Structure 1
Amino acid sequence: MPDPNLCLEALSALSGCRVESTSGASQLVPQDIVNVVALREFYKQEGFKELEYPSLGTLSLQDVDSMEMYSSPLALAAPEQSLTTSVKINVEEFFHSQYDYDFTNIKDGDKKFLRGNEQYVRPCGWNRVALRVTNKYDGGDRWLGTGKDAWPVSYQGHNMDGAQGIILTRDGNPDDEPNFLEAGAASLIAEKTRGKGVYSTPDVKLAEKYCKTFKSKVDGKTYKVVLQNRINPDKRNECQRENVWVVYIPEDSNDIQRRAIVQESIRPYGLLLKQV
């Protein structure tokens, strides 16, 4: 396992919270991280500036890319308020080093891998820190396996906003093909997909284009960070953009329903790090 403090920095960059270590009970479990990451982007799509989350309170949705996550917090209108919320996790409870896997120097070439009878493109070039998610969900761990009952793998980068970005762009640039734009717009207003949602991809290279980057105070190096998840094949929809999946959140859903939709649809199991 990489330096635990480096992993905490990566979680901080992803979540927008200041994640610190504790020897006591964790305030968050791995599922909370994917919930926060997904809902942060969803609420930003909706135009909100804050997100309320149990055990964390109010989270600012202001972009914190340029902020030093471990420096003194930047004040808001009131001196006691901060752009970043502090949260403590127990490293031993949160991570599962037995299942860490360093893909940094691995090249799969033409090798094929399957998860849930769907192609699994392994995150070659990345170092995976395993999250402790076994025996945490009803129904056992088949979703996490390699057989036909397993859920396919998806990767979640930062700012994979389908409404304004990834679904209407290719390689980060506006697509000039009218038919593609019309198809993308239609997918957003069709009855069965009305509302915005949570976006991920089976292609780690695509997720990398939208990932979060941070400079570590542990070693002074800069890293990219992506979440490796499993996605419920019954809950996802394919976007017009190739290799993009979306879990739609109905327009009239409340906060509790939104969290439930994410938890039923996307489960994290790896924190991916790559040195820039």
Structure 2
Amino acid sequence: MSNSLLAAALSAVTKRSVITYDDYSNSKGGYDEYVQLDQKVLHQNHLVSGRVPTSNEVAQIQLYIQGFDDRTVTYNVEPNEQIHRLKSRIRDRMGIPLEAIRLLFAGRTLEDNYTLAHYKITSRSTIHLILRLQGGGDPSPTTALFIDPNSLDPSYDYDFTHIDDKGITFTRGNFEYKRPCGWKRIAINVLNKYSDNIWLGVNRESSTNSAQNEWPVSYHGTAIHNCKDIAEEGYDLCKGKRFAFGHGIYSTPDIDVAYSFAIKFTHEGDDYRVVFQNRVNPNSLIRVSKEETKVGEYWISPNDKDVRPYGICIKKEN
């Protein structure tokens, strides 16, 4: 797969200019500054988190976020939500990098680790969104992010475009693995990035079976579907259940479900979709079945450390 296609996909995900390493080396594009794309930050920033139904549901309040372009977006949140979570919602919905988001209420800058209630923010309040200045200035549109070749692992790339797994069952982490048939998978270099490689199943004896202590596979997209992201829709679909934790990371083992939340982008005249492929810690995983949601299986993990993106899947639209 061409690196330029990956750059286009990541540009769509980050809402920033992402270029290939070759273009960076040749200084193509006329940018004033070039910054290496941090893959770990990229994937952690684009996990989709949200509320999880609990037995102690708190009444939500409605907030208005007024942007720098005077556009106002409405959010329904809990009063005890922390500011950093509200910023994550804004990032997911408006495509603004977390580091660029500054929120003001009643003339005060809202700090990440405080709650809305701490600032006495009530329903129908208006919070102002200001783009944080880089070193005192606005995020520069003349800065390009370049892809470090060492952040990828082409030996694990796989083209599933014309593969049909009908009649074949694959497992990862003793869960069914629905391979991304119809997509091309670009592998992220994650070997030796954690305490061990067991979670990846590197010693798997068969392509269809799991290795011991391997983590199962899930997918997530970062786009909005029916005015909701995958976490907001997942919360609505899971309202009939109650969980021990009130906040989690949402994903799905079914790439067809993830497709609904896949960012759409155009490259060289063709339309594509992009989603992330993850490994999920099975010891903390909550599964909500297709029979319960009526649309597809959803997975909820209590912590971002329980979800490790290891691939980027791209599909060309028919």
- TM-score scaled by structure 1? 0.69
* Further displaced range: 105-114 or 234-243: 234-243
Match of 1:200 in 2: 251
Match of 1:143 in 2: 199
Which whole-Å deviations, capped at 9, do the CAs of 1:196-234 have from their partners, x for residues lacking one?
A: 321100001110111110112xx1211100111100112
Contact 2:221 2:258 in 1 (8 A): yes
Distance 2:182 2:90 in 1: 34
Distance 2:235 2:141 in 1: 29
Contact 1:26 1:94 in 2 (8 A): no
| Letter paired with 1:3 | S
| Letter paired with 2:4 | N
Match of 2:232 in 1: 164
Larger Cα Rg: Structure 1 or Structure 2? 2
Which whole-Å deviations, capped at 9, do the CAs of 1:73-110 have from their partners, x for residues lacking one?
A: xx969895249795634431111111111000010111
5 Å-filtered alignment, 1:50-69, equals 58-60=99-101
The residue matched to 1:205 in structure 2 has which SS? helix
Distance 2:263 2:234 in 1: 15
Higher fraction of helix: 1
Which whole-Å deviations, capped at 9, do the CAs of 1:123-162 have from their partners, x for residues lacking one?
A: 0000111111111111x21111140311000001124745
CA 1:87–1:166: 2 relative to 1, 3 Å: farther
Match of 1:247 in 2: 301
Distance 2:144 2:249 in 1: 23
How much has 1:12 moved relative to structure 2? 2.2
Aligned CA-pair RMSD = 3.3
CA 1:268–1:86: 2 relative to 1, 3 Å: farther
Distance 1:199 1:58 in 2: 22
Distance 1:265 1:86 in 2: 32
Match of 2:191 in 1: 134
How much has 1:25 moved relative to structure 2? 8.6
Distance 1:84 1:246 in 2: 36
Match of 1:36 in 2: 45
- Identity across matched positions, percent: 30
| Letter paired with 1:32 | V
5 Å-filtered alignment, 1:1-276, equals 2-20=1-19, 21=21, 22=24, 26-29=36-39, 31-38=40-47, 42=50, 46-48=85-87, 58-60=99-101, 80-82=137-139, 86=143, 88-138=145-195, 140-145=196-201, 146-158=210-222, 159=224, 161=229, 164-169=232-237, 184-185=238-239, 187=241, 190=242, 192-194=244-246, 196-216=247-267, 219-239=268-288, 240-241=292-293, 242-248=296-302, 261-262=303-304, 264-276=305-317
Contact 2:151 2:189 in 1 (8 A): yes
Distance 2:264 2:298 in 1: 21
CA 1:147–1:25: 2 relative to 1, 3 Å: farther
| Letter paired with 2:309 | P
Contact 1:101 1:128 in 2 (8 A): yes
The residue matched to 2:46 in structure 1 has which SS? helix
Distance 2:137 2:176 in 1: 49
How much has 1:245 moved relative to structure 2? 0.6
Distance 1:85 1:136 in 2: 32
The residue matched to 2:239 in structure 1 has which SS? helix
Contact 1:224 1:275 in 2 (8 A): yes
| Letter paired with 2:47 | A
Contact 2:50 2:235 in 1 (8 A): no
Distance 1:236 1:27 in 2: 29
The alignment of Structure 1 onto Structure 2 pairs a total of residues equal to: 223
Contact 2:35 2:144 in 1 (8 A): no
Structure 1: 5+ residue stretches without partners:
62-74, 170-183, 249-260
Match of 1:66 in 2: none
Which whole-Å deviations, capped at 9, do the CAs of 1:231-254 have from their partners, x for residues lacking one?
A: 011222223535101123xxxxxx
Structure 2: 5+ residue stretches without partners:
26-33, 52-74, 78-84, 92-96, 103-129, 202-209
Contact 1:15 1:36 in 2 (8 A): no
How much has 1:168 moved relative to structure 2? 2.4
| Letter paired with 1:117 | N
The residue matched to 2:43 in structure 1 has which SS? helix
CA 1:84–1:115: 2 relative to 1, 3 Å: farther
Contact 1:116 1:148 in 2 (8 A): yes
Match of 2:60 in 1: none
